[in-house]
Structure 1
Amino acid sequence: MRILMVGHYPPHGGGVANHLDNLVRELRKRHEVHILTYGPIKPRDFEKEFVHQVHVPPVYGLRGTSFAFLGSKKIARLHREFEFDLIHAHFVGTTSFAGVLAKEKTGLPLVLTAHGSDLEHTAKLALGRFYVKKSLSKANAVIAVSHWLAKKAMSLGAGSVRVIPNGVRELKADGGSEKEGKAVTFIGALRQYKSPGTFIELAKHFPEREFLVAGDGPLRRRLEGNAPPNVRFLGYRKNVGNVLARSVLLVLPSRREGFGLVILEANSLGVPAVGRRVSAIPELIRECKNGLTFEGFDELVNAVERLLEPKTNRKAGKIGREVASRYSWKRVAEEVEGVYRHVLG
């Protein structure tokens, strides 16, 4: 097959870009895969002939809408050159709407993947809701990375939804002199919906324990001003394996998560997780097995106390490795290929 992926892609960062990077690597073992992404970027040398871009203004709101309309024209031009079998758009909103408009121009089948904030945030905005609902109704197939998101997609107009979770990339720790397996860790963007302030308050209850914050964002300065001495801010880290190697526990206090991949990344290195009982998080944290979930702050403190007990921590970490091993990118690619075959008949 000759496939056109549409969405954020390296050198862009973020969850969608990481998802696409891993999925494309697997699919390229059997198919020719091209990507259309937001420009301007400099593609990686090994794939520069397969990565196409649309230059859009770096202005929130205008950027996405520009991509929707300019991207659809670019897709039509690329199709005349490469003759794609299908379009697969990632993130339901303006990105997927580029696929909808391109489908009308080319007649190509359109597959969409919902990743999280598209259905939990974009769909709540006036114009965003139009893009989301139109995309879901016009797609030939819709994929969601969690059952939580699948229900959201159905409520917004998707006819049917196939749940295909994310895979877990192999994480490596470079080692070194840093002490390992001692810290309680937060990994994620420092934004309101991730609730990093909850993590800072948690650190005040465990003054003898090191707390690590890996990530950056608009809340960083305020968080640093409110943090006790046992909290270290590491900034954005590409290799989270190094951070997790120094961790005994991951805490994910997010108020919404379309999937929560960092839970599985931690589990893959034997680090159990505590996560808020919302969205897709309970799909990944098997209660009292690879971690614990919470609702209120007192329940969070109790969960952390339980999982810091060495014997409980080791047992949860061992189960976590087993859970994470079931989420491979090879398996994800095979299931996505099944959707492609169904769409193409």
Structure 2
Amino acid sequence: MKVLFLSENYYNDEYANITGSIYQSYLIAKFLSQKGFKIMYVSLSKIPRSFKENDNFEVYLIKEKNNVFLSFFEVLKFIRNLEFDLVYTRGRSYLLFIAFLTKKPYIFNSNAQEGLRKFKHISKLFYSKRNFFKKILLFIPFLILDFLVQIGIKNSHLIIVQNEFQRNEAKKIWKRDAIIIPNLQFRVKNYPKKSEKIVIWIGQITKWKNPQLFIEIAQKLKKYKFLMIGYGDLNLIEGYEKIENLKFLGKLKNEEINKILEKSWIILNTSEGESEGIPNVIIQAMMRGNVPICLNDDFSILEKYKIGFKVKNLNEMIEKIILLFENENLFFDYSKRAFEFSNNYFDYERNGNLYYQYFLEIFSKNS
């Protein structure tokens, strides 16, 4: 079977802005190529080129344009020359409408808690801090984008979600029975030695990731060590260098992050609102025995399986950090449960095979 992957960026593109969703698309494509599927992975890049990841995995990076609508036509024009049986796209973008236009069976994979909501772009525009005139200017383009996305979701042949919350959203909003397939990650064989009490934050430094909260917590808990890993708008964490117990490490390779996670105890997720799915960094951290403390969201798993905490504000986050550091027995109970649960629930082979089965099912039903 020939599968077309449509993605806004490619994981191994050094010029790309890499997110957890991009990484997941790459892992799924890689797994399916190893199972014998022919993968055509089409994405955007500052430097257009094509190459092979392996004999079954071809990558086409086409020239990124200055706006969404120009990119839309560029992708549409390019894929007309490709022959494929099935289309996969992850996250809500104009690529969903392109999948619809191919007239081939296609799979939509939600990547966020609010990924299935209607008029998401308009809603975000309305509540954004842009000035009034800019909102007026952007209203029509955002409205068009929302309509295109919604046509794509409505007509998809299968909706895949990350958790129970998203499945309920699919049923409530779209009257669709979505399939839950958790994210993929490579197993960690042995529970690591926890040598040092460290609180860690990993992510893109953007407003909605709320990194300032991590800075505030480090200032208030001077007796503990805090590490921050990421890249983006450093103005949002201005003054971090004055905090003695906080070290900012910048952008690191995945292997370097994993080594740090083997030592650290707690990972904080400070993102505002129920906007993320299950962040890859949270999964990576749990697979190495870190206990997540997350603002406003537990991704339908943390409290249910007693592997982490959902909190409402800064004070509650501080209370949980102190609780885990001062009560080591409690920490290791949560840590070892998080390790066991995540290495089973997010296993690369297990979840990759679920994708394989559903891709075959959709293909056979529509061929």
> Normalising to structure 1: TM-score of the pair?
0.85
Please state how far the C-alpha of 1:235 moved relative to its aligned partner. Answer: 0.8
Q: Structure 1 stretch 36-45 or stretch 1-10: which is displaced more?
A: 36-45
Secondary structure of 2:183's partner? Answer: coil
- Deviation string, structure 1 residues 156-178 (Cα, Å, up to 9, x no partner): 53633222111223579xx9xxx
- Deviation string, structure 1 residues 285-329 (Cα, Å, up to 9, x no partner): 136832221012221111111111322222211111111112112
| 1:51 corresponds to 2:59 | yes
- Deviation string, structure 1 residues 161-201 (Cα, Å, up to 9, x no partner): 222111223579xx9xxx95331100111112111111111
Question: Matches of 2:334 and 2:51 in 1, distance apart?
Answer: 39
**Match of 2:243?**
228
- Which AA in structure 2 matches 1:22? L
**Match of 2:82?**
78
| 1:16 corresponds to 2:33 | no
1:47/1:38 CA distance change after superposition, 3 Å? farther
1:162/1:45 CA distance change after superposition, 3 Å? closer
**Match of 1:97?**
97
1:169, 1:329 within 8 Å by CA — same for their partners in 2? yes
Aligned mate of 1:273, from 266, 287, 292: 292
Question: Matches of 1:248 and 1:88 in 2, distance apart?
Answer: 36
- Which AA in structure 2 matches 1:85? D
Question: Matches of 2:51 and 2:260 in 1, distance apart?
Answer: 26
**Match of 2:129?**
none
1:212, 1:231 within 8 Å by CA — same for their partners in 2? yes
Q: Structure 1 stretch 181-190 or stretch 285-294: which is displaced more?
A: 285-294
**Match of 1:114?**
110
Q: Structure 1 stretch 9-18 or stretch 46-55: which is displaced more?
A: 46-55
Question: Matches of 1:277 and 1:180 in 2, distance apart?
Answer: 29
2:206, 2:236 within 8 Å by CA — same for their partners in 1? no
Please state how far the C-alpha of 1:282 moved relative to its aligned partner. Answer: 3.8
Aligned mate of 1:312, from 322, 330, 342: 330
Percent identity over the alignment is: 20
Please state how far the C-alpha of 1:152 moved relative to its aligned partner. Answer: 3.7
| 1:300 corresponds to 2:300 | no
Question: Matches of 1:233 and 1:340 in 2, distance apart?
Answer: 42
1:161/1:65 CA distance change after superposition, 3 Å? farther
| 1:214 corresponds to 2:210 | no
Secondary structure of 1:93's partner? Answer: coil
Question: Matches of 1:126 and 1:100 in 2, distance apart?
Answer: 18
2:196, 2:264 within 8 Å by CA — same for their partners in 1? yes
Q: How many residues of Structure 1 are paired with residues of Structure 2 in the alignment?
A: 326
- Which AA in structure 1 matches 2:59? V
Counterpart mapping for 1:136-175 below 5 A: 136-154=153-171, 156-157=173-174, 159-170=176-187
1:205/1:265 CA distance change after superposition, 3 Å? same
Question: Matches of 2:305 and 2:278 in 1, distance apart?
Answer: 19
**Match of 2:134?**
none
Please state how far the C-alpha of 1:128 moved relative to its aligned partner. Answer: 3.0
Question: Matches of 2:88 and 2:199 in 1, distance apart?
Answer: 38
Aligned mate of 2:259, from 242, 245, 248: 242
Question: Matches of 1:122 and 1:341 in 2, distance apart?
Answer: 33
Question: Matches of 1:123 and 1:334 in 2, distance apart?
Answer: 37
**Match of 1:284?**
301
1:148, 1:258 within 8 Å by CA — same for their partners in 2? no
Q: Structure 1 stretch 281-290 or stretch 325-334: which is displaced more?
A: 281-290
Question: Matches of 1:312 and 1:99 in 2, distance apart?
Answer: 48
Question: Matches of 2:337 and 2:69 in 1, distance apart?
Answer: 44
1:186, 1:212 within 8 Å by CA — same for their partners in 2? yes
- Which AA in structure 2 matches 1:23? I
Please state how far the C-alpha of 1:153 moved relative to its aligned partner. Answer: 4.1
**Match of 1:37?**
43
- Which AA in structure 2 matches 1:26? F
Question: Matches of 2:199 and 2:51 in 1, distance apart?
Answer: 35
Secondary structure of 2:239's partner? Answer: helix
Give me the CA root mean square deviation: 2.7
Q: Structure 1 stretch 46-55 or stretch 302-311: which is displaced more?
A: 46-55
**Match of 1:321?**
339
